[in-house]
Every structure is written in C-alpha cells, then in structure tokens.
Amino acid sequence: MKPTVAIIGVGLIGGSLGMALRRSGKYRVVGIGRDAKRLRKAKQLGAVDEFTTRLSDVISADVVVIGSPVDTVAPMFERIVPFLKPGAIVTDVGSVKGPIMDAVKRVERPASIHFVGGHPLAGSHKTGVEAASSRLFAGSTVVLVSAASKPLRALKTLWNAAGANVQVMTAEQHDRAVALISHLPHAIAHALVHAFASRADRRRIAPLLAGSFRDGTRVASSDPEQWAQILRANAAAIREALKFFRFELDRIDDQLTRPHLAKHLRRSHAVRRPLFHGK
C-alpha cells in the first residue's frame, strides 16, 4: 500500500509537492486546510487525491507536511500531535529552521513521533495552488535538518520522488546560508524599491525602468506577511549577511573611480557563470 502524505496548507509549495508526489505514483496525498473551496480547487488541479478540513484526519498519515508559514509551524505541530499515529514523521517547508526547531523541541509528544525540519529551495513570488506545478522542485535542492536516520531516509525518498535533491545540514548552517543567498536578496529588493519610491521624479523616470531593476526587485513582489515572518525569524543571521554585503558594496563604490573596476567585475562575472549556466 502507498504511504499516505498529509499536506497541511495546499498553497504554492504544498500544492506543487502534492502534484509531484501524485505524479510519481508512489504516494497517496491528502490535503488538509480550513477552506473547503480552496481544497476542492487543489483537487481539481491534481494536487491532492482527497481533502479534509478536519485536522484530526492526520491520523491516517505516514508523513505530514506542514506547508503553512514559519510562525505557524510549531503551533500546528502541537495541535496535530494528539492525532498522529505512532511512527508518523512530520516535516515542514519553512524558510528558517533554527527558531522552528527550537519551538518544536518544546512541544510535548510521544517518542515515536518524529519531526524533521525541511526547506525546499524553490518557489516563486507567486502564491496559491493556482501557481503550483509538479515540476517546481525538479532539479532543486531541499535542505533537511540533521535528525535520526530512519525519518531522514523516508523524507529523502519522498523529496527525491518529487524531483528534488536533498542536502542535510544543521539548522544553524541552513539559517546562515539562506540569510545570504535568499533572505539578503529579498531585503535588497525591498530596499531598492524603497530607494526608487523616495525619488521625487519617480513618475517621470518610471518608464525608464528595465530589466536590471525588474530582476533585482522581483522578489519584492513576494508575500509581505510571510516574508516579514521569515526575515524577523532569521534577523541575526541576516544582519551578519548584511555586513558582508555592505563591505562588498563599499568596495565597488571605492572602485568606481579606480582603474581596477573591470577586473573586479570580471571576477564576479566569472563566479556567477557556473552557478546558473547563463541564466
């Protein structure tokens, strides 16, 4: 019999995971949420096999994926613990791991219930199951937080079935890494939009906005409430990343009137090339 995966919160990430797992043919997917209409939509789009608005229905699940925002993961875990069957594995998709792992640790539960933190490094500035795709995780990386080997293996198998590669690290390593490579770009995007908004001539120059500003600010169109939660939860690591970034910004500022600017840009050009293969 196929293992049952319950996904609580069938939005962009949860919905895409459901689609990918169903497509793999290896899992039965149950969507859980508050809004029956949205869950029906998720089913129509092929994100779930079944859906329910009763949280207690997690009782049938071998794996539970909490797909809701960062601040709600530990409270949701606490709510479902009483209904979970022995051996159940719970994971999440939150962009910050330290605070979630700390909060989860404080939740009382039977020793047979496992929580393994997870973070798929894929997404979009779009939200909702309407933007979901079974290909969202194809070739992407999912971080799982170091844990006991059995639940870790089960989740690795699950994410592999969804097309993702898995990397295991500590919550702290994860949070330091994403502070630089994900949270900092979000902070920068918002700062860049605010810098534009503060210009008195912004209406006059708006027609001049082109690719570099569009790409550099794209993630400022991500959900503000979710991102405020993420940035606040990882504030200390983001401040460290900001220090690195400010140092590099000052270096380019300094180079603007020096002869080595081209050399400096050639170096970043060369570093970026293999990372995204020309994209």
Subset of residues 109 to 148 that bind a copy of itself, contact rule: CB under 8 A: 121-124, 140-141, 143
With residues binned 3-state (H G I as helix, E B as strand, rest as coil), the percentages for the chain, rounded to 5, are 55, 15, 30
Stretch that binds a copy of itself, among 51-59, 68-76, 103-111, 261-269 (CB under 8 A): 261-269
Strand, coil or helix: 271: helix
Q: Rank residues 52 and 127 by Cβ distance to a copy of itself and give the closer one.
A: 127
In the complex, minimum distance from the CB of residue 210 to a copy of itself, in angstroms, rounded to a whole number: 4
* Neighbour count for residue 199 (Cβ, 10 Å): 11
Question: What x/- string results for residues 73 through 92 when contact with a copy of itself is judged by CB under 8 A?
Answer: --------------------
In the complex, minimum distance from the CB of residue 166 to a copy of itself, in angstroms, rounded to a whole number: 10
Instruction: Give one DSSP letter per residue of 163-226, joined into a string.
Output: T-EEEEE-HHHHHHHHIIIIIHHHHHHHHHHHHHHT-TTHHHHGGG--HHHHHHHGGGGS-HHH
Cβ atoms 47, 10 nearer than 8 A: yes
In the complex, minimum distance from the CB of residue 235 to a copy of itself, in angstroms, rounded to a whole number: 4
In the complex, minimum distance from the CB of residue 219 to a copy of itself, in angstroms, rounded to a whole number: 5
Q: Rank residues 35 and 215 by Cβ distance to a copy of itself and give the closer one.
A: 215
Question: What x/- string results for residues 159 through 178 when contact with a copy of itself is judged by CB under 8 A?
Answer: ------x-x-x---x---xx
- Separation between Cα atoms, residue 20 and residue 208, nearest integer Å: 40
Select the residue interacting with a copy of itself from 24, 59, 131, 245 (CB under 8 A): 245
Q: Rank residues 25 and 278 by Cβ distance to a copy of itself and give the closer one.
A: 278
Is residue 93 close enough to count as binding a copy of itself by CB under 8 A?
A: no
Go through the chain and tell me how many residues it has: 279
Select the residue interacting with a copy of itself from 34, 40, 153, 246 (CB under 8 A): 246
- The number of helices, as runs of H, and strands, as runs of E, in the chain is 12, 9
Select the residue interacting with a copy of itself from 36, 138, 148, 262 (CB under 8 A): 262
Is residue 219 close enough to count as binding a copy of itself by CB under 8 A?
A: yes
Stretch that binds a copy of itself, among 8-16, 30-38, 74-82, 270-278 (CB under 8 A): 270-278
Residues 195-214 that bind a copy of itself (CB under 8 A): 195-199, 201, 204-214
- Separation between Cα atoms, residue 15 and residue 131, nearest integer Å: 9
Identity of residue 268: S
Based on the number of CB atoms within 10 Å of its own CB, is 60 exposed (0-12), middle (13-18) or buried (19 or more)?
A: middle
Quick one: CA torsion of 153, 91, 42, 70, rounded to 10 degrees? Answer: -150
| Count of residues near a copy of itself by CB under 8 A | 89
